[in-house]
Structure 1
Amino acid sequence: MKIYADENMPLVAEFFEQLGQVKLFNGRTVSATDVADAEVLLVRSVTQVNQALLAQNTALRYVGTATIGTEHIDQGYLAGRNISFSSAPGCNAQSVVEYVLSAIWALAEKYQWQLSGKTLGIVGVGHIGQRLAEAAAALGIKLLLCDPPRAAAEPDFTHTPFRALCTQADIISFHTPMVLTGPAPSWHLLDAEALALLKPGCALINASRGAVIDNEALLQALTHRPRPVVLDVWEHEPEILQALLPYLDIATAHIAGHSIEGKARGTEMLYQQLCTLLNQQPLRQLADLLARPAVEKVQISDNFGLPDVQNLARMLYDVRRDDALFRFHIQREGFDWLRKSYPPRREFSSVQLLGGKVPDWMTQLGFTSQ
């Protein structure tokens, strides 16, 4: 079986070599000729899988994207050709949550916030947004949740309409998929009108899809009224609006979900899906393939509390490292180089906490105990 995979999918050879011959490609530049004989195609969000890409292929049986989002996949076209498809919902949810928490802690230190007095608005409460809500609640941060589809489907879901959330939140974090049509589109959800509704000093964090925020409108707004802003995703990637950079507190190259576990978990999920399709027993597990972490165990005392958790978290990941990398390399090396060259980063779960009494809220943040 000929298996073609994005070269930036970690552990893809280790997982899939039992099923066939694995060939790697550049997900941004791959052409129809490159995948003409693929029987399995494994991609990430930078590859548009559609009729144009598959025009020369008559052998394809399965397409998998190691991402939560699926807007880069023409699922109708695949279905019309009877090509099986799956994505990896939730694969990098914990990684994105840790990115957002690191950003919030960095902003809190820079602007001397007391987080217990702040209200976090979460827009999009799916795999990532729900996990962020649980982590923020564990840290004592007040919450406003905005998710129209969940509000329509779940009578008990406490929903705050987006425009109302804009007038009330101190921090807004976006975790909505890109939705272009229907009753709740997310394209340019934060436009010039919504920006004008924000409280002075309201911080913005976008680790979902770049076009959820109108980047040109954001630039115009920031030139007149600066506010804390964290952007991991951008409109028109990789050709981003670099004029925004001087106005941003943290800028990164669409890497919020790029922990070792987050990316490899997506690979594992596609491997399991293909094994099911082929009626084969999976022989690989992520836990057996991950490298041993540099820090495996940390002893905490009974005095460990909320003020200490960000110091422990920063030992594993500090988003300011990625901001520094971005600002230094973006003009010389470019957006895609930053993504491809992203340094290793482990999730909280890679560290086992030792101690007589590990607080329950630590496991709610994603740490593990003995």
Structure 2
Amino acid sequence: MKIVADENMPYVDELFGQLGQVIKVDGRKLQAEQLVDVDVLLVRSVTKVNAELLSQAERLAFVGTATIGMDHLDEAYLQAKNIPYTNAPGCNATAVGEYAFIAMLELASRTQANLRDKCVGIVGAGNTGSAVQRCLAAYGVKTLLCDPFLQGSDDTREFVSLDTLMAHCDVISLHVPITQTGSHPTWHMFDEKRLTQLKQHTWLLNCCRGEVIDNTALLQVKQHRQDLKLVLDVWEGEPNPMPELVPHVDIATPHIAGYSVEGKAKGTYMLYCALLKQLGKPVEMELSQLLPQLWVEQINLTEAPSEKALLTLLRFVYDLRDDDQLFRQRFLNNNGFDLMRKNHKHRREFSALRVANSAGSDVDWLLKLGFSGVGQ
């Protein structure tokens, strides 16, 4: 079996090496002739899997994308060619949720605000949006959800319209797929009109797709709305963000909100399990066997942490300021955006750190936030 995989997917050799020959490629530059005699194709969002790419892939029997979204796959073509395909839904949801939560705490620290005093609006309440809500609920922050598709389903949560959310929320976090058609398209959902309508001192976070916000309009609005605070992990025109916009963004990163060690490993692992199921083979390796230990094993708390102390604790696991600083230094370099993503291998999730409580204080909320307890 010949397996072609994006070079930035972790643990491919460990998981798929036992099934056949693994060939690593630059997913953004993958060409049709590289798939002539390939059985399995493993990609990320940078690879457009369509008729052109698969024009010579006569042996292809499985396509897996280690991402939540599948907008980079031509599903109609794959179905017409009877090529099985799958994604990794929810693989990086925890990572995105924790990124957004940390970013909000960083903004609270910079603006001398208290996150618990804010109302946070979450646009898109699927896997990643729900992960953000779990973090905020654990910390006692009020949230409003907007998701017209889930609102019309059997989801029992309470939803509001986007206009209501914008009118009542101090923080807005975006977690929607990119769509240009249908009853609720998300392409330029936040255009100049909506951006202008944002409340004074709103914090706007985008951790989904760059095109959800009209970046040109955002630059124009931000130039006369210094009260707005921005966290952008995704950008229009990736991997070439608008240079003029970056200085106006408070926290800027190269599409790595979901790039935790755990999240990336889970994405590869889910594809591994899906392929084994298709082949009728048992799963013989557990995800936990792949993950390294964090540099610090355990923190012993003497009291429940304040918001300032909580941010310090979170920085033990992942210091968002490092990626923000690196982005500003390198995004204009040749292939700088992609190289930062490729080399981003250090970030961990809260679960990598065990929290012990020696003072008897109520820290159960830290476990709900995602930290591991002693003995876990």
Q: Is the TM value for this pair above 0.5?
A: yes
Paired residue for 2:166? 166
Q: Measure how far apart 1:353 and its partner are.
A: 1.7
Q: Name the structure 2 match of 1:287.
A: 288
Task: Give the letter aligned to residue 88 of structure 2.
Answer: A
**1:28 maps to which residue?**
28
Q: How does 1:163-242 map to 2 (within 5 A)?
A: 163-226=163-226, 227-242=228-243
1:306 to partner: Cα distance: 5.3
Match in the other structure for 2:256? 255
Shift of 1:59: 0.2
Runs of 5+ consecutive residues of structure 2 not aligned to the other structure: none
User: In the alignment, does 2:333 pair up with 1:352?
Assistant: no
Q: Is the 8 A contact 1:203 1:229 kept in 2?
A: yes
- Give the structure 2 partner of residue 118 of structure 1: 118
Structure 1 position 156, deviation (Å): 3.2
1-structure distance, mates of 2:344, 2:115: 30
Match for 2:316: what amino acid?
M
Kept after mapping to 2: 8 A contact 1:95/1:347: yes
Shift of 1:164: 2.2
Other-structure match for 1:127 = 127
What's the secondary structure of 1:280's corresponding residue? coil
Measure, in 2, the Cα distance between the counterparts of 1:155 and 1:58: 42
Give the whole-Å Cα distance in 2 for the aligned partners of 1:229 and 1:343: 25
Out of 58-67 and 304-313, give the one that drifted further: 304-313
TM-score by length of 1: 0.97
Distance in 2 separating the partners of 1:32 and 1:155: 42
Q: Partners in 2 of 1:273 and 1:301 — Cα distance?
A: 44
- Measured after TM superposition, the shift of residue 180 of structure 1 is 1.8
Residue 305 of structure 1: CA displacement?
5.4
Quote the Cα distance in structure 1 between the aligned partners of 2:306 and 2:282: 44
- 1:366 partnered with 2:357: no
1:242-276 deviations in whole A, cap 9, x for unaligned? 11011110111000111111111100000000000
- The residue type paired with residue 311 of structure 2 is Q
Return the alpha-carbon distance in structure 2 between the equivalents of residues 99 and 56 of structure 1.
40
SS in 1 for 2:34: coil
2:112 is matched by which residue type in structure 1? Q
Residue pair 2:106, 2:311 contacting (<8 A) in 1 also: no
Per-residue displacement from partner, 1:113-170 (whole Å, max 9, x unpaired)? 1222211000001111112112112212111110110101136331111122122211
Q: CA RMSD, aligned part only?
A: 1.4
Letter in 2 for 1:320: R
Cα drift, residue 304 of structure 1: 4.2
Contact residue 179 and residue 187 of structure 1 kept, 8 A: yes
In structure 1, the residue matched to 2:278 is: 277
Q: Match for 2:68: what amino acid?
A: I
Counterpart for residue 330 of structure 1: 331
Deviation at 1:343, TM superposition (A): 4.3
Paired amino acid for 1:354:
A
Superposed displacement of residue 328, structure 1: 0.6
Over the matched positions of the two proteins, sequence identity in percent amounts to 45
Distance 1:131 1:49 in 2: 28
Normalising by structure 2, we get a TM-score of: 0.95
Q: Secondary structure at the match of 1:183?
A: coil
Partner secondary structure for residue 14 of structure 1? helix
Secondary structure of 2:302's partner?
Answer: coil
Pairwise CA distance, 1:301: 2.7
Amino acid at match of 1:228: K
Change (3 A) 1:295 1:155: closer
Listed one character per residue, the Cα deviations across residues 315-341 of structure 1 (whole Å, up to 9, x for unaligned) are: 111211101000011112421111112
Q: Helix, strand or coil for the counterpart of 2:144? A: strand
Q: Is the 8 A contact 1:353 1:368 kept in 2?
A: yes
Which 5+ residue runs of structure 1 have no aligned equivalent? none
One-letter amino acid of the counterpart of residue 360, structure 1: D
Separation in 1, partners of 2:305, 2:339 = 39
List, as ranges, runs of 4+ consecutive aligned residues in structure 1 with deviation greater than 4 Å: 302-307
Distance 1:304 1:231 in 2: 28
Instruction: Tell me the secondary structure at the aligned position of residue 240 of structure 1.
Output: coil
Aligned length: 370
Could you tell which deviates more after superposition, 296-305 or 96-105?
A: 296-305
In 2, distance between residues paired with 1:271 and 1:194? 42
Distance 2:46 2:152 in 1: 31
Q: Distance in 1 between matches of 2:304 and 2:324?
A: 32
**AA of the residue aligned to 1:295:** V
- Matched residue, 2:313: 312
CA separation in 2, counterparts of 1:302 and 1:188?
A: 45
Secondary structure, counterpart of 2:172 in structure 1: strand
Q: Does the residue aligned with 1:78 lie in a helix, a strand or coil?
A: helix
Which residue type is aligned with residue 339 of structure 2? W
Distance of aligned partners of 1:155 and 1:39 in 2 relative to their CA distance in 1, 3 Å threshold: closer
- 2:6 aligned residue: 6
User: Structure 1 residues 281-290 or 227-236, which shifts more?
Assistant: 281-290
- Distance in 2 between residues matched to 1:10 and 1:189, nearest whole Å: 33
